[in-house]
Homo-oligomer: A and B are copies of this chain.
Amino acid sequence: MKKVKRTTIYDIAAKLGITASSVSRALNNSSQVNEKTRELIIKTADELNYKRNTLASNLRKGHSKTIGVVVPRINQNFFSNVIAGIEETTYQKGYNLIICQSGEVHDKEIQCVNTLINQHVDCIVISVSADSYDYQHLQNVLDHGIQLIQFDRVAEELETLKVINDNEQASFEAVSHLIENGYKRIALLEGPQNLNIFRQRKNGYLRALETHKVKVIDELVVENAWTKELGAEATRKLLNLPHPPDAIFASTSDFSALGVLEVANVMNIKVPSELGICGYSNEAFTEITSPSITTIDQFSVYMGKTIGNLFFQEIANVEVSVKPKIISIKPELIIRGSTKKNSSL
């Protein structure tokens, strides 16, 4: 790839015997440049195949028109949907997205954040990784005067903008639904409790049991079962208990729920009559398993759009917003075959 000298506003100015100032103004639709000169400049810019150097422009202007996004995994359905949503709203306002993945590793998350600070992004959107234990790096973002929006998995103690799902409520509704459908011994597969979302889901589970006066049975609550494999393993143990559960709420993910379903199939336990299953996230596949899996839709693309809009709202009125804003999106319980205890499929 040969080195190419790109045309600058100086080249245009030189060709026209004017100053770069005028070229710059013309290209920025400033009113203080003659209409004819402007046309001439634009025409010449076009001829010379001029492309503005955003780096220089941003350096001068002191912002980058860029938003940094940090997620655990880009290629996880939920996250890629959120990113798609963010992109949609921000692109049309001329903002670019820089995407990083932390791979669920705290140190890499810090690195990502630092890179984004170096890039002088105008905003950092983040969903923290599972093993995050402190939030100094996020505080640092704020200290650098960069807007910070946390979503889904958030550090609650930090006063930032947040866009979250009402996990507690969704979880409450899911478990209530199970109870109302006649399930009596409901197990919970829970995720890492250092993440707020999993704590909330557990709380929703507990509240539902309490509300319906169902006793909590400790041995039916399984920690860290948030992959398909871990879900399957947990299920094997649960179903081999002297008093096995008659329903499993895989609060961690649909993948975990899928693991449950597969084990049930192998063990020849009928779903939903002998075992109810509820997942979380509304992954595409939950619709096509047999039976299809009851789950919770998080409106991920919408969440992304909300994040984008929130950002623009914030930069629109700089001083007005004092208190940290939290936008909570209500997820929706999608009832499917895997929890219809009393009816046929």
Cβ–Cβ < 8 Å partners of A285 in chain B: 284-285, 288
In the complex, the answer to whether A98 meets B98 with C-beta atoms within 8 Å is: yes
Q: A96–B121 Cα gap in the complex (Å)? A: 12
Nearest-neighbour CB distance to chain B for A94, whole angstroms, equals 8
A101 close to B (CB within 8 Å): yes
Cβ–Cβ < 8 Å partners of A2 in chain B: 145
A201 close to B (CB within 8 Å): no
Chain A 54-108 interface residues, beta-carbon cutoff 8 Å to B: 54-56, 58-59, 64, 66, 73-75, 77, 80-81, 83-84, 87-88, 91, 96-101
Q: A163–B4 Cα gap in the complex (Å)? A: 25
- Which of A111-119, A169-177, A239-247 sits within the interface? A111-119
Cβ–Cβ < 8 Å partners of A314 in chain B: 1
Cβ–Cβ < 8 Å partners of A51 in chain B: 114, 117-118, 144
Chain A 107-133 interface residues, beta-carbon cutoff 8 Å to B: 114-115, 117-120
Can you name the residue of chain B whose Cβ is closest to the Cβ of A74? B84
Cβ–Cβ < 8 Å partners of A83 in chain B: 74-75, 99
Nearest-neighbour CB distance to chain B for A20, whole angstroms, equals 16
How many chain A residues touch B (Cβ–Cβ < 8 Å)?
Answer: 55
Q: A91–B101 Cα gap in the complex (Å)? A: 9
Give the dominant DSSP class at A's interface.
Answer: mixed
Cβ–Cβ < 8 Å partners of A145 in chain B: 1-4, 6
In the complex, the answer to whether A55 meets B59 with C-beta atoms within 8 Å is: yes
Nearest-neighbour CB distance to chain B for A282, whole angstroms, equals 13
Nearest-neighbour CB distance to chain B for A8, whole angstroms, equals 12
Cβ–Cβ < 8 Å partners of A97 in chain B: 98-100
Q: A314–B1 Cα gap in the complex (Å)? A: 9
In the complex, the answer to whether A140 meets B49 with C-beta atoms within 8 Å is: yes
Cβ–Cβ < 8 Å partners of A100 in chain B: 87, 91, 96-97
Interface residues of A (CB under 8 A from B): 1-4, 6, 49, 51-56, 58-59, 64, 66, 73-75, 77, 80-81, 83-84, 87-88, 91, 96-101, 114-115, 117-120, 140, 143-147, 258, 283-285, 288-290, 301, 314, 318
